[in-house]
Amino acid sequence: MSQKEDKDHLLAEYFRTALHYYIAARYAMIARLLPTPGNLVHHAIEFLLKGALIETLDEAGRRDFHHYLQKLWQLYKRERNNPALDKFDQTISDIHKFERIRYPEEMIRLGMLAEIGPVRNTFPQPSGAKQPPGARYQLAFDEVDELVKLIFQIESISPQFYTQALDENAKTYLNYQNKFPL
């Protein structure tokens, strides 16, 4: 198998796995399994970006990013030079913040206010709240949904290639309250 075929296969696996994380995150959001949706979305976006950058990053390069989504995002934006991506800087920042609570120690140490739902919570943090600013985690799935769709479009990848194999339950959670269905 040629190197190009390996990269094509690897890209397909990154996108397939990313889609699975994304669907699991959407289910966890609907079921209010907080803060799990944030962690799963982090994995989904990380895999989409690493898959999209297969031609730019070899395996060592992908691993060098670890789980640092913001640096990966900056590279992706530079490589694609697409102004439509700029509107998702805050979304990426919000998603990346969930990496801090991948393990429960940080939640216990700082406390946590998780605001995860279909739209961004525009309400300010309650005055008098005892939580430090770093303990507030927000995730707006309408932004995530739009970003996922945009990455598929920019990469000229047909979502149907991946979604056709999904069972009805997965399709239900993929599309439930999704303004930007794949």
CA distance 151 to 154: 5
pLDDT of the chain along its 182 residues, tens only? 445 558 889 999 999 999 999 999 999 999 999 999 999 999 999 999 999 999 998 888 888 878 889 999 999 999 999 999 999 999 999 999 998 888 888 888 877 888 898 888 765 655 655 556 567 889 999 999 999 999 999 999 999 999 999 999 999 999 999 999 99
Residue type, 92: I
Domain map (residue ranges) of the chain: 3-175
Strand partners, 73: none
77 token code pair: 């934006």
Strand partners, 178: none
CA distance 7 to 138: 34
CB 25, CB 46: distance < 8 Å = no
Phi/psi for 139 (5° steps) reads: -145, 120
How many residues make up the chain in this entry?
A: 182
